[in-house]
Amino acid sequence: MTARHWNLLASSSLIALILLGLAWELWLAPLRPGGSWLVLKIVPLLGALFGILRGKRYTHQWMSLLSLAYFTEGIVRATSDSSPSAQLALVYTLLSVALFLSCLFYSKLTAPSRLAQSR
C-alpha cells in the first residue's frame, strides 16, 4: 500500500472514531441518561482531524500515540461494561487499532530519509 492509502485509512478510521464516540456517549449507551460529559473525549480527535485529512506527517505521528489511549478505553469498557456498551467498545477498539496502524505506516512511508532515497 502507498502512503496515500494509509492516509485514507487513517482519515476514515478517525472520522468513524469521532462519530462513534459522539453517538455512544450521547445516544446509544451513555453513562447517564441524556448523555454524559465523557463525550469530551472526542475533542483531541477533532484537533487532529484537519492535520490527518491534509496528510501532515507530524499529526500522524502524535495521533499514533494518542490512539493508544482510545484503544485502552475500548479494552477496559469492553471487559467491564454491559451490553450494548461492550459491543460498542469492541468496535471502538478496532477503529483505534486501525487508526494506530495507518498513522504508523503513513509516518514511516513519508519519512524524509525514505523520500530522499526514492529520488
Question: What is the number of domains present in the chain?
Answer: 1
Question: Can you give the pLDDT at residue 119?
Answer: 60
Given a contact cutoff of 8 angstroms between Cβ atoms, the answer to whether 19 and 8 are in contact is no
Q: What is the pLDDT of residue 118?
A: 64
What is the residue range of 64's domain? 3-117
Three-state SS at 118: coil
Tell me, what's the pLDDT at 50?
96
List the one residue out of 81, 85, 70 whose CA is nearest residue 24: 85
119 three-state secondary structure: coil
pLDDT tens over the chain, length 119 residues: 899 999 999 999 999 999 999 999 998 988 788 777 888 999 999 999 999 999 999 999 999 999 999 999 999 999 998 888 999 999 999 999 999 999 999 999 998 876 667 66
Q: What is the pLDDT of residue 71?
A: 98
- Cβ burial of 88 (10 Å; 0-12, 13-18, 19+) is buried
Question: Where in the chain does DSSP place strands (E)?
Answer: none
Stated pTM of the model: 0.91
- Looking at residue 33, what is its pLDDT? 81
Per-residue confidence (pLDDT) for residue 59, from 0 to 100: 96
Pull the grid cell for residue 74. 475500548
